[in-house]
Amino acid sequence: MRMSDLVAQYIMEMLEEQNGSAEIQRNELAGSLGCVPSQINYVITSRFTPEQGYIVESRRGGGGYIRISRVKMDNGTAIMHIINSVGDTLDKAAAEVMLNNMLQRRLMELQTAKAIAAALSDRTLRNVEQEKRDTVRADLFKNMLLTLNS
């Protein structure tokens, strides 16, 4: 497992244990996980975004902290929020992160996520011109989520 996955998993466990809100000190977390503080920043900015249903607040300085809160919304609203955040293009890695976040938030079942991941894979889209794949992937993903949401 990659370090970024470990950091994200650790933060997700903190959110679960603390009812959707966790306060962390970046340097302490980096020290306990054996990584550099910039990796903590990377994970927070890439996996705990408003588009993915999180609010991140930070306070700098000696007693500084980063507070991550999960936004509470019903499944339909959460899925529409994800659809609206996709944009015109979607690369494979971003699609996988979104699917994993949806699984963790219990917005879909594992089998559904696997089917969507297979449909969005580079192997499935191999006959689509390379420069158009991310556009086709975004359209497919949004339409699949709209179908789930209806």
User: What pLDDT does 132 receive?
Assistant: 96
Q: Say what the pLDDT of residue 1 is.
A: 67
pLDDT at 62: 66
Per-residue confidence (pLDDT) for residue 63, from 0 to 100: 63
Which pairs count as long-range contacts for 8-16, CB under 8 Å and 24+ apart, including other chains?
Answer: 8/43, 8/47, 11/43, 11/44, 11/48, 11/68, 12/104, 15/68, 15/70
pLDDT, one tens digit per residue, over 94-143 is: 899 889 888 888 889 999 999 999 999 999 999 999 999 999 999 999 99
Q: What is the pLDDT of residues 72-107, one digit of tens each?
A: 888 888 888 888 888 899 999 989 988 988 888 888
Question: What are the structural domains of the chain?
Answer: 3-70 (3.30.56.130), 75-149 (1.10.1200)
Percent of the chain exceeding pLDDT 90 equals: 43
How distant, in Å, are the alpha carbons of 15, 22, 26, 33, 121 from that of 95?
Answer: 22, 25, 27, 26, 9
